Structures are given as structure tokens and as C-alpha cells.
């Protein structure tokens, strides 16, 4: 009888005590980022599947960056001009947002949860403080983050490109969609 009780207690410990803890650190290198540019009668977007990111649920640290040379607008000439003339990716290869998750996230709750981060967006060695809203969702694979915000080209000393006879808007919309996977430290 004692042996049977010990067996069930041991099996219960393996089942419940041996479960891995919810990860605190989530990382990815294959997220999606896009920027949307508009001019009268024209809209185009640049995209990349090389958005890298990190979220530490314990500290609230958030860090996302993209290699600007990986942005693709679907037009080689426009991509070349964007990289060489406007973004100067040889000198300033990355755009980065670093900050702190300021909203509560429950990784055990199903469905999207509103998320807010406060920090700075840096491009061309110029940082601007901002607060970004989006959603964060626990999935079987990790956590998915979706967010969008706007920047002004003039805030980052970027000349406004002209397309035909139209100048692009100074306002650029940025959207991200990234699945971050748990990273367990040894």
C-alpha cells in the first residue's frame, strides 16, 4: 500500500512539478516589417522578413531591429535609390526600437491582448522617443506581436523622395508582425 501511494505521488510530481516554467525571454529573427509611403495618386510599400526581436517578460525589456538593406519595394531602381540616397544603408544599416513593455501581459490568457511599449525609435543615428500600441498574443509556438506607428522622414534627416512630379508624404507608416519563440537560458 505504501509503495502504491509513493508511486502516485512520484508520478504526480513528474507530471505537475516537472512541467517547464513559462519562458521569460522570447526571441525571433524572421519577423515581418513594412513601411508604407504615399504620394498623390500613388502608394507603395517596402517589406522585409528579417525583423529581429526580443521581449523579456520578467524585466519588460523590448528590442526590435531590421537591416534596412533587406527592405524590398518590388522595384530595383527604387530600392537602390532608397538604400543609397535616402537611407544611406552603408553608413546607417539598421532601424531599431528599444524600450519597455508598459502594459500587463498574461502569457496564460488566450487571445490578443492590448500592448503598449514606451521607448525610442532609432534610425540614421537619430533617436526619437515614442509610445507604440499594438497587440500581443500567446500561441503554442511563443508570443505574436503586431503593432503599427508613424514616423516623419524629417525627424530622421531623410529628404522626401519625389516620384514623377509628386513628392512623397513626410509621414511613413510602419507595421510589424513577429512571432517570438521562447528562449530558455542554460
Q: Bridge-partner residues for 115, per DSSP?
A: 134
Check if the beta carbon of residue 130 is closer than 8 Å to that of residue 117.
no
3-class secondary structure, 139: coil
Distance of alpha carbon 148 from alpha carbon 35, whole angstroms: 10
Please name each of the domains of the chain with its CATH number: 22-182 (2.40.128.110)
Quote the pLDDT of residue 186: 57
Distance of alpha carbon 148 from alpha carbon 13, whole angstroms: 44
Hunting for cell 539598421 — which residue is that? 94
Q: Bridge-partner residues for 54, per DSSP?
A: 27, 63
Quote the pLDDT of residue 77: 93
Q: What is the mean pLDDT of residues 7-33?
A: 64
3-class secondary structure, 131: strand
Q: CB atoms < 10 A from the CB of 123, how many?
A: 21
| Cβ neighbours of residue 3 closer than 8 Å, sequence gap 6 or more | none
Q: Taking the CA of residue 59 as centre, how many other CA atoms within 13 Å lie in the half-sphere pointing to its CB?
A: 10
Kindly report whether the global pTM for this prediction surpasses the value 0.75.
yes
Distance of alpha carbon 169 from alpha carbon 38, whole angstroms: 6
The candidate with the shortest Cα–Cα distance to 40, out of 160, 174, 168, 172, is 168
Quote the pLDDT of residue 59: 95
Three-point CA angle 122, 125, 128, nearest 5°: 40
Distance of alpha carbon 174 from alpha carbon 156, whole angstroms: 14
Q: What is the mean pLDDT of residues 157-182?
A: 88
pLDDT tens column, 31-78: 999 999 988 888 889 999 999 999 999 999 999 999 999 999 999 999
Quote the pLDDT of residue 15: 42
The candidate with the shortest Cα–Cα distance to 95, out of 44, 133, 149, is 149
3-class secondary structure, 5: helix
Amino acid at each position: 500500500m505504501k509503495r502504491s501511494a509513493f508511486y502516485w505521488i512520484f508520478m504526480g510530481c513528474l507530471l505537475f512539478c516537472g512541467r517547464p516554467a513559462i519562458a521569460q525571454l522570447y526571441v525571433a529573427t524572421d519577423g515581418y516589417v513594412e513601411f508604407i509611403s504615399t504620394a498623390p495618386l500613388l502608394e507603395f510599400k517596402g517589406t522585409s522578413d528579417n525583423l529581429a526581436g526580443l521581449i523579456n517578460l520578467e524585466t519588460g525589456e523590448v528590442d526590435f531591429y531590421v537591416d534596412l538593406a533587406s527592405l524590398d519595394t518590388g522595384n530595383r531602381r527604387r530600392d537602390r535609390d532608397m538604400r543609397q540616397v535616402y537611407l544611406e544603408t552603408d553608413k546607417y544599416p539598421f532601424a531599431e526600437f528599444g524600450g519597455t513593455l508598459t502594459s500587463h501581459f498574461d502569457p496564460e490568457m488566450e487571445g490578443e491582448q492590448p500592448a503598449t511599449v514606451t521607448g525610442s525609435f532609432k534610425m540614421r543615428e537619430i533617436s526619437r522617443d515614442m509610445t507604440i500600441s499594438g497587440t500581443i498574443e500567446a500561441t503554442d509556438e511563443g508570443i505574436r506581436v503586431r503593432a503599427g506607428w508613424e514616423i516623419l522622414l524629417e525627424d530622421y534627416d531623410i529628404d522626401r523622395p519625389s516620384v514623377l512630379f509628386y513628392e512623397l508624404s513626410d509621414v511613413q507608416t510602419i507595421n510589424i508582425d513577429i512571432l517570438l519563440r521562447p528562449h530558455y537560458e542554460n
